[in-house]
Chains A and B, each alone.
Chain A
Amino acid sequence: MTKRRRVRAYLAIALVLVASFALAGPAGAQGSGPPDYRQYGELDSRIVIWVVSQLHLLFAAFVLGVPIFALITEYVGYRTQREQYDKLAHDFTKLLGAAFSTTAALGGLLALSLFALYPTFMSHMTDVFGDTYLWYGLLFFVEAFAMYFYLYSWKRLVGDKKKWHLLAGVLLNVSGVAVMLIANSWVTFMMSPPLAEVEAETGRVLTSGIVPLTAEWTGTVWEAINNPLWTPLNIHRFIGNITFGGFIVAGYAAVRFLNTKHEGLRSYYDWMGYIGSFIGVAAMIPMPFAGYFMGREIYSYSPVMGNNMMGGTFSWTFIIQAMLVGALFIGANFYLWSGMSRIPGAQRYSKYIKWLDVILIVCFAVWLTPHNLPLSPSEQAIIGGQFHPTLKFLGLMAAKNAVINFIIIATFGSFLIYRRANKGERLPVSQQGTGSKVIVGVGFGIAALALGWYAAVLFGLEPGDLDLSPDKGVFFTLPAYLLVGQILAGLVAVVLTFRDRGVQGQVLYLGAVVVNSVLILGPYGFVVMTQANPFLRNIAVAQWLITMSALVFVTAIDIVLLRGASEIGSIKWGKMTGRSQYALLLLLVGAVMLMSLMGYIRSGLREDWHIFGVLRDVSEGAFTPTMAEMSRVVASIVVVFMLLIAFVFWLAGLAESEGEEQVPSLTAVRPEPSIQPEPRAASGQD
């Protein structure tokens, strides 16, 4: 038995013992009949479940996010034949073993604790979801076997057999996502159970669902799974896992970078940090929209829950959320700007950084401004109330939608200048093959189809569809025409690109995005809010589509523009400031904080209901905690998780130190080597 496996075995035994001990307490405390609630000794059951479930979720995000990251990078390595991508994917798959055991142990502890501490509630859940427990277990087996096969067959399935290895990676990801989908159905059912219609006079159940007064479930398992919040949460968590996987990699790389003086390893970890942050940020960009979709569906299911979320107690937690989201975007931009210092020729683009900085910070300030201000009585007296007469507008959804789109466009701008930082003379598009024209055409086609489809939806939308009077239809036309205008701007950009003026094409399209999505639809949102309120959601979708279309289409132009361009010099991997690595750590810690906070909000929105509106929580812990208590618990979870992750990385490091660590060449395929890896340093500080 290797040292690493011994440690893992001890860890598993310790966790099982903790779980057994935890179960022994409540078992002895049982009275004659089955109680509704139990406790582990003096521990608050709500906090036990809160901490264990959040830690389980964070680890689950790790073991779902990292395989997605590994599969993407392995595929890139396979397609480009660059060895470093394959090594990066393999390195992170190795981390999965220990993380997988921890996730399973925490999941076991959570399940046992739920049955031990909340037996009546879990009895209800089992009545509804009993069948899914079997599927969950079986899929978990598939995931576990796929994970170990994926890990241990890495060195065997090479060459022509590589595609089979990639297939194993796909199986791992599909089974992992399927496990997540089942677990998501349980928690979303608790928030948005499909209600049965009951005849008031006779009490006869008319439609399938959960009966409000008795909590009896009369529907099928599928109806319970496919509850209103299931799809939004699935999308949100799936994208979130990719982001988290990327940031875990980036954070790991940053720690290793800061701890080594070996030039070859610094180059490798610098590159690793870049890849991790790139995948993380790319997945983070659609996250605000996934969140908006989720929030909208919460409002749709229950206006009461929606009001609690955005107008009530939980609105303060969204101020913290806004700060964390802003910090992630700022951290990502700062990392890209810092990275330009290691790219020869980047100084040509430095002048744009200050404008991107100004846009980001101004938008961030708007993003953070609450509608309802925390004021002292004297401040209230000065401004005449709890709302500032001017700044109050910045606190409303229309302003938030506008600035988040601008933040995303600015981040995309940072990425564009980073990409071209070391490019010299470009190969004119007219001299490139038809492949380039196809790339631009496909990019435009995707953008135009999405925008055109939604323009058609808006042109065909009847006011009655949104419960609006017929005269309100006049508000639908402006966004529809703006979508059409955006398509026309794209068409002009295509023509410009084909005439070797692609940069002007990019500027034109991005400029149109800012004008349409931010400067016009932003203020227009305020008008719609008061005049045709239900239409505001359509405005948000139009803004999102316009922004997303830029990401697809402008990237397509960029690929073609920089194709075959000469390089002023190669990227000097490893020549990065320490500050930039702390930005990567900020991304990781910020993501963990954000996930822990949002986990609390999502669950806390049910307030004193186990199953919202149906099964009331009458335990001692049914109250909504104060902001201070919430902050303490969430912060503790973040600290414990970071310590556990550090422990997992340390375990993985033990295995590394048993053999010689290979320093991968970052230049296996590239013609101009930037940094030649050197033999491992004798001091072995890494």
Chain B
Amino acid sequence: MRRVLNHKLGQFVILLLLAFLLFQFGIPWLSSAITGTAAPIPAHLLWTIYMPLVVLALLLFISANEQWWSEFKQPLLNLIVEQTPSGLVRLRRVLLVAVPLIAGGVAYLLIRPDISAPPELRSIHPAPPSSVSVGAETIDLRTAVNPYRGADGAPETGALAEGRAVYGQNCVICHGDSLEGDGLFATSFRPRPADFTDFGTIAQLQESYLFWRIATGGPGLPADGKGWNSAMPVWDETLSADEIWKVILYLYDATDQLPRAVGE
């Protein structure tokens, strides 16, 4: 065992294994400790980014030193090409059969017809149009600002209360009391309704962007936003432009976040 631990190839394999275990069990544990949800790393992320990076790190480290690199390669060369003891030759023959079979099997599994939907490249914040119409009013999304915010960015108190009421009457059933996307209907939808307390949602966006998303809903999303895969209703027929601006005010205030400034 000590011989394996001291050998560069042995260290390579052991570290690879440790990294895999860390990703497989460590991340869910960490996730659970931080957020209360023990979410595993998605297989795509693990096998296309994290594990290849670990392999790269180990190979870089070993191959930067000629002596280590030779030590690392030697057992592999012995197995594949060198004159070696008969035991290794038998293993070589087994591998000569097994490796193509495994490669063929993996290739088959990858290309065989599958009924599951492919991974989605869905843009969470797809490109908005230049303007959007609500009733008779056309809002220029490139320059629009919330009319219910003062010069210092503070919301108007009355408008905020009205926004809260609009939220309670229209949005709470999906986005939830806490605005975490956990309303009564939330589990019925995939993707789930947006969690407004998440740093990556409304804090990343200007208010005019939210205006567009609320006004036109899922059907208003461009192709890369996969509008067909969103349950968000179109609100411009139900709410006035003023009501939309007010509910936006409430979203930021209730989550203690600020919208992205126009000049940022």
> Is A526 part of the contact surface with B, judged by Cβ < 8 Å?
yes
Given contacts A307-B127, A369-B45, A378-B116, whether A395 and B200 have CB atoms under 8 Å apart is yes
> Is B34 part of the contact surface with A, judged by Cβ < 8 Å?
yes
Q: Which residues of A contact B191 (CB under 8 A)?
A: 380, 385-386
> How large, as a class, is the contact surface on chain A?
35 or more
> Is A566 part of the contact surface with B, judged by Cβ < 8 Å?
no
Per the bound structure, the CA–CA distance linking A360 and B123 in Å amounts to 29
Q: Are B44 and A374 in contact (CB under 8 A)?
A: yes
> Is A299 part of the contact surface with B, judged by Cβ < 8 Å?
yes
Q: Which residues of B contact A338 (CB under 8 A)?
A: 63-64
Q: Are B27 and A390 in contact (CB under 8 A)?
A: yes
Per the bound structure, the CA–CA distance linking A376 and B35 in Å amounts to 22
Q: Which of A456-485 contact B (CB under 8 A)?
A: 463-464, 466-470
Per the bound structure, the CA–CA distance linking A627 and B223 in Å amounts to 13
Q: Which residues of B contact A330 (CB under 8 A)?
A: 56, 60
Q: Which residues of B contact A316 (CB under 8 A)?
A: 121, 123
Given contacts A300-B263, A381-B190, whether A372 and B124 have CB atoms under 8 Å apart is yes
Q: Which residues of A contact B130 (CB under 8 A)?
A: 304, 613
Q: Which residues of B contact A371 (CB under 8 A)?
A: 124, 200
> Is B82 part of the contact surface with A, judged by Cβ < 8 Å?
no
Q: Are A537 and B264 in contact (CB under 8 A)?
A: yes
> Is A669 part of the contact surface with B, judged by Cβ < 8 Å?
no
> Is A20 part of the contact surface with B, judged by Cβ < 8 Å?
no
B122: contacting residue among A304, A368, A386, A579, CB under 8 A: A386
B123: contacting residue among A300, A313, A350, A534, CB under 8 A: A313
Chain A 352-395 interface 0/1 with B at a Cβ cutoff of 8 Å (1 = within): 01100110110011001101111111111111111111111101
> Is A396 part of the contact surface with B, judged by Cβ < 8 Å?
yes
B119: contacting residue among A341, A374, A468, CB under 8 A: A374
Q: Are B154 and A534 in contact (CB under 8 A)?
A: no
Query: How many A-B residue pairs lie within 8 Å, measured between CB atoms?
Result: 208
Per the bound structure, the CA–CA distance linking A208 and B242 in Å amounts to 33
User: Closest residue of chain B to A577, judged by CB?
Assistant: B66
> Is A529 part of the contact surface with B, judged by Cβ < 8 Å?
yes
> Is B108 part of the contact surface with A, judged by Cβ < 8 Å?
no
Q: Are B41 and A391 in contact (CB under 8 A)?
A: yes
> Is B91 part of the contact surface with A, judged by Cβ < 8 Å?
no
Given contacts A361-B53, A531-B257, A577-B66, whether A379 and B43 have CB atoms under 8 Å apart is yes
Shortest C-beta distance, A146 to chain B (Å), equals 40
Q: Are B119 and A375 in contact (CB under 8 A)?
A: yes
> Is B20 part of the contact surface with A, judged by Cβ < 8 Å?
no
Given contacts A376-B44, A467-B153, A469-B152, whether A385 and B192 have CB atoms under 8 Å apart is yes
A376: contacting residue among B61, B116, B206, B224, CB under 8 A: B116
> How large, as a class, is the contact surface on chain B?
35 or more
Q: Which residues of B contact A364 (CB under 8 A)?
A: 53
Q: Are A386 and B124 in contact (CB under 8 A)?
A: yes
Shortest C-beta distance, A446 to chain B (Å), equals 29
Given contacts A334-B64, A390-B27, whether A365 and B50 have CB atoms under 8 Å apart is yes
Per the bound structure, the CA–CA distance linking A310 and B264 in Å amounts to 12
Given contacts A337-B64, A353-B64, whether A534 and B124 have CB atoms under 8 Å apart is no
> Is A25 part of the contact surface with B, judged by Cβ < 8 Å?
no
Chain A 323-365 interface 0/1 with B at a Cβ cutoff of 8 Å (1 = within): 0000000100110011011000000001001100110110011
Q: A303, A338, A577 — which one has the most chain B CB atoms within 10 A of its CB?
A: A303
Q: Are A372 and B261 in contact (CB under 8 A)?
A: no
Q: Which of B41-75 contact A (CB under 8 A)?
A: 41-45, 49-50, 53-54, 56-57, 60-61, 63-66
> Is B156 part of the contact surface with A, judged by Cβ < 8 Å?
no
> Is B7 part of the contact surface with A, judged by Cβ < 8 Å?
no
B42: contacting residue among A312, A353, A382, CB under 8 A: A382
> Is A674 part of the contact surface with B, judged by Cβ < 8 Å?
no
A390: contacting residue among B34, B64, B153, CB under 8 A: B34
Chain B 184-207 interface 0/1 with A at a Cβ cutoff of 8 Å (1 = within): 000000111001001110011110
Q: Are A303 and B208 in contact (CB under 8 A)?
A: yes
Q: Which residues of A contact B259 (CB under 8 A)?
A: 533
B61: contacting residue among A296, A354, A469, A530, CB under 8 A: A354
B60: contacting residue among A299, A303, A357, CB under 8 A: A357
Per the bound structure, the CA–CA distance linking A470 and B153 in Å amounts to 10
Q: Are B142 and A464 in contact (CB under 8 A)?
A: no
A312: contacting residue among B34, B45, B63, B127, CB under 8 A: B127
Interface of B is mostly: loop
User: Closest residue of chain A to B207, judged by CB?
Assistant: A303
Q: Are B260 and A303 in contact (CB under 8 A)?
A: yes
> Is B239 part of the contact surface with A, judged by Cβ < 8 Å?
no
User: Closest residue of chain B to A330, judged by CB?
Assistant: B60
Per the bound structure, the CA–CA distance linking A392 and B59 in Å amounts to 28
Q: Which residues of B contact A470 (CB under 8 A)?
A: 152
Q: Are B199 and A393 in contact (CB under 8 A)?
A: yes
> Is A177 part of the contact surface with B, judged by Cβ < 8 Å?
no
Shortest C-beta distance, B114 to chain A (Å), equals 10
Chain A 509-548 interface 0/1 with B at a Cβ cutoff of 8 Å (1 = within): 0000000000000000010011111101100000000000
Q: Which residues of A contact B35 (CB under 8 A)?
A: 389-390
Q: Are B27 and A307 in contact (CB under 8 A)?
A: no
Per the bound structure, the CA–CA distance linking A381 and B119 in Å amounts to 12
> Is A308 part of the contact surface with B, judged by Cβ < 8 Å?
yes
User: Closest residue of chain B to A357, judged by CB?
Assistant: B61
User: Closest residue of chain A to B224, judged by CB?
Assistant: A313
Q: Which residues of A contact B126 (CB under 8 A)?
A: 311-313
Q: Which residues of B contact A386 (CB under 8 A)?
A: 120, 122, 124, 191
Given contacts A308-B127, A537-B264, whether A383 and B42 have CB atoms under 8 Å apart is yes
Q: Which residues of A contact B224 (CB under 8 A)?
A: 312-313
> Is A321 part of the contact surface with B, judged by Cβ < 8 Å?
no
Per the bound structure, the CA–CA distance linking A373 and B258 in Å amounts to 25
Chain A 613-637 interface 0/1 with B at a Cβ cutoff of 8 Å (1 = within): 1000000000000010000000000
Shortest C-beta distance, B39 to chain A (Å), equals 4
Chain A 271-304 interface 0/1 with B at a Cβ cutoff of 8 Å (1 = within): 0000000000000000000000000100110111
Shortest C-beta distance, B255 to chain A (Å), equals 8
Per the bound structure, the CA–CA distance linking A233 and B22 in Å amounts to 42
> Is A607 part of the contact surface with B, judged by Cβ < 8 Å?
yes
Given contacts A390-B34, A533-B264, A534-B261, whether A341 and B65 have CB atoms under 8 Å apart is yes
Q: Are B142 and A304 in contact (CB under 8 A)?
A: yes
> Is A120 part of the contact surface with B, judged by Cβ < 8 Å?
no
> Is A184 part of the contact surface with B, judged by Cβ < 8 Å?
no
Shortest C-beta distance, A363 to chain B (Å), equals 10
A388: contacting residue among B31, B117, B154, B204, CB under 8 A: B31
Q: Are A369 and B49 in contact (CB under 8 A)?
A: yes
Per the bound structure, the CA–CA distance linking A467 and B209 in Å amounts to 18
Q: Which residues of A contact B105 (CB under 8 A)?
A: none
> Is A218 part of the contact surface with B, judged by Cβ < 8 Å?
no
Q: Are B53 and A365 in contact (CB under 8 A)?
A: yes
A530: contacting residue among B65, B199, B264, CB under 8 A: B199
Q: Are A532 and B40 in contact (CB under 8 A)?
A: no
Q: Are A533 and B64 in contact (CB under 8 A)?
A: no
Shortest C-beta distance, A335 to chain B (Å), equals 9
Q: Which residues of B contact A360 (CB under 8 A)?
A: 57
Q: Which of B230-264 contact A (CB under 8 A)?
A: 255-264
Per the bound structure, the CA–CA distance linking A417 and B142 in Å amounts to 50
Chain B 128-170 interface 0/1 with A at a Cβ cutoff of 8 Å (1 = within): 1010000000000110000000001110000000000000000
17 A-B pairs within 8 Å (CB atoms) are namely A300-B264, A304-B141, A307-B127, A312-B126, A315-B123, A353-B64, A354-B61, A369-B45, A373-B42, A373-B44, A375-B42, A382-B42, A388-B45, A468-B258, A533-B260, A534-B263, A613-B130
Give A contacts to B, CB under 8 Å: 296, 299-300, 302-304, 307-308, 310-313, 315-316, 330, 333-334, 337-338, 340-341, 350, 353-354, 357-358, 360-361, 364-365, 368-369, 371-393, 395-396, 463-464, 466-470, 526, 529-534, 536-537, 577, 579, 607, 613, 627
Question: Given A316-B123, A388-B31, 6 more contacts at CB 8 Å?
Answer: A353-B64, A358-B57, A365-B50, A388-B45, A389-B39, A396-B204
Q: Which 6 A-B pairs have the closest CB atoms?
A: A311-B125, A337-B64, A361-B57, A390-B31, A383-B39, A308-B127
